[in-house]
């Protein structure tokens, strides 16, 4: 530890970014755990006492924002921002990152539910001092998941990689990012946000740390199967044009088969071997109609994203902030005692 401190110089300022959506049940449980970990990092001189825990409220309909405001009022280590309405997990994480990038040297984004191992933050910060600008938190295994959950999740990562979007296998949104990387990430202005694929596109030296994921401490998951499927669709269509190329290849293949079928039909007609067949006609019509509808759907998805991008609407709108805490005042610094 002394060798690390000598190499790193003065401790860096860390902001822990925590997206929250209707988390009134779990937030009172996990907030003290985040605070304990931050103070532990401060006591070990891995981060400065100007480091903060920033909650980002995603337009919650319960008392989540009231809880965040109360936490910030009682302890200067806590601060919070609130979106004007619910805009989704990815926009919420991005809002926190962009809000914090000018105030700190490094950020760590982590979900509020306590499933990700908070103690891994120390290893992440150590990897940063070792030269990594991005540190991904990656699950070791999925033994705690049901077979269906494990199958769908692993299929999600394999599918999205095969479709051309570069993502880290079994990594969600638990990661450390330096402020330098965030400055370049800010240049990515697309409205359709998929951070798991956007972060690797920025580049810079990266590494991974591995941990076991635990069951949610309280409340219910906000990512059922439907949202996972929509996230996969957004990730693929936001970062890759491979589905359109697949459609092109499929069209060429079906056209080739159709061309051969036309030759066969003409040959049968001229040689008097035609047989009227209602079933075969219906099968061909249904097959081609299905292919056309699927193709139009994929193309429509891309057109819809182009439509949203051209509008240049803001990706997030911050409606409220907890009272600004001046990091220059000694009394507002986080204490290193746990």
For the segment 138-157, what is each residue's pLDDT rounded down to a tens digit?
888 766 666 666 676 667 77
Residue 85 has pLDDT above 80, yes or no: yes
The string of DSSP letters for 259-310 reads: HHHHHHHHHHHHTT-----HHHHHHHHHHHHHHHHHHHHHHHHHHHHHHHHH
Cα separations (Å) of 43 from 29, 237, 271?
22, 45, 91
Helix axes 147-162 and 225-239, enclosed angle (nearest 10): 10
What is the pLDDT, as a whole number, of residue 133?
Answer: 92
What is the pLDDT, as a whole number, of residue 145?
Answer: 64
CB 56 within 8 A of CB 319: no
CA 314 remoteness from chain centre = 18
Q: Which residues contact 327 (CB under 8 A, 6 or more apart)?
A: 13, 50, 103, 333
Give the range among 17-31, 95-109, 123-137, 209-223 with minimum mean pLDDT.
Answer: 209-223
The string of DSSP letters for 103-140 reads: T-SEEEE--TTS-S-TTHHHHHHHHHHTT-SEEEEEES
Average pLDDT over residues 69-85: 90
Residue 327 has pLDDT above 60, yes or no: no
What is the pLDDT, as a whole number, of residue 203?
Answer: 81
Give the model's confidence band at 128: pLDDT under 50 very low, under 70 low, under 90 confident, else very high. Answer: very high
For the segment 216-246, what is each residue's pLDDT rounded down to a tens digit?
555 565 555 566 666 666 666 666 666 766 7
Residue 279 has pLDDT above 60, yes or no: no
The string of DSSP letters for 20-88 reads: ESS-TTTHHHHHHHHHHHHHHHHHTTSB-TT-EEEEEE-S-SSSHHHHHHHHHHH-TTEEEEEESS---
Helix axes 278-311 and 242-270, enclosed angle (nearest 10): 150
What is the pLDDT, as a whole number, of residue 177?
Answer: 92
Q: Provide the CB-side half-sphere exposure for 111 (13 A, CA).
A: 25
Alpha-carbon radius of gyration of the chain: 25
Cα separations (Å) of 230 from 149, 225, 233, 234, 285?
15, 9, 5, 6, 30
What is the pLDDT, as a whole number, of residue 235?
Answer: 65
Residue 333 has pLDDT above 60, yes or no: yes
Write out the two tokens for 148.
Answer: 């269906």
Mean pLDDT, rounded, of the chain: 77
pTM: 0.72
Give the model's confidence band at 126: pLDDT under 50 very low, under 70 low, under 90 confident, else very high. Answer: very high
CA-based end-to-end distance of the chain = 19
For the segment 253-278, what is each residue's pLDDT rounded down to a tens digit?
766 666 666 566 666 666 655 556 65
SS3 content of the chain, % helix, strand, coil (to 5): 50, 15, 35
Residue 15 has pLDDT above 90, yes or no: yes
What is the pLDDT, as a whole number, of residue 156?
Answer: 72
Spatial strand order of the sheet with 78-83 comes to 206-211, 134-139, 171-178, 106-109, 14-20, 52-57, 78-83, 318-321
Q: How far apart are CA 22 and CA 231, in angstroms?
A: 19
Q: Which of 31-35, 277-281, 316-320 has the highest mean pLDDT?
A: 31-35
């Amino acid at each position: 530890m002394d060798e690390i401190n000598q190499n790193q110089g003065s401790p860096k300022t860390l902001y822990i970014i925590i997206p929250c959506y209707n988390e009134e049940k779990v937030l009172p449980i996990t907030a003290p755990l985040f605070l304990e970990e931050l103070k532990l990092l401060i006591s070990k001189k891995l981060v400065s006492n100007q480091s903060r825990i920033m909650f980002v409220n995603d337009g919650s309909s319960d008392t989540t924002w009231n809880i965040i405001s109360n936490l910030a009022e009682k302890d200067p280590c806590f601060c919070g921002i609130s979106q004007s309405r619910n805009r989704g997990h990815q926009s919420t994480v991005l809002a926190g990152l962009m809000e914090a990038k000018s105030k700190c040297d490094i950020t760590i984004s982590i979900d509020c539910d306590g499933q990700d191992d908070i103690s891994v933050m120390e290893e992440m910060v150590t990897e940063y001092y070792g030269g990594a600008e991005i540190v991904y938190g990656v699950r070791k295994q999925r033994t705690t998941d049901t077979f269906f959950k494990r199958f769908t999740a692993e299929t999600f990562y394999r599918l999205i990689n095969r479709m051309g979007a570069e993502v880290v296998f079994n990594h969600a949104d638990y990661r450390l990012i330096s402020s330098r990387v965030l400055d370049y990430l800010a240049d990515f202005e697309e409205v359709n946000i998929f951070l798991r694929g956007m972060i690797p596109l920025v580049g810079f030296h990266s590494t991974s740390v591995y941990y076991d994921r635990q069951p949610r401490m309280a409340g219910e998951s906000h990512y059922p199967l439907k949202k996972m499927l929509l996230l996969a669709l957004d990730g693929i269509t936001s970062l890759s044009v491979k589905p359109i190329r697949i459609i092109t290849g499929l069209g060429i293949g079906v056209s080739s088969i159709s061309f051969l079928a036309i030759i066969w039909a003409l040959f049968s007609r001229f040689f008097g071997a035609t047989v009227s067949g209602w079933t075969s006609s219906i099968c061909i019509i249904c097959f081609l109609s299905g292919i056309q509808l699927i193709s139009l759907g994929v193309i429509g998805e891309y057109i819809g994203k182009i439509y949203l991008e051209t509008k240049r609407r803001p990706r997030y709108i911050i409606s409220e902030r907890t009272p600004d805490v001046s990091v220059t005042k000694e009394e507002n610094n986080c204490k290193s005692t746990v």
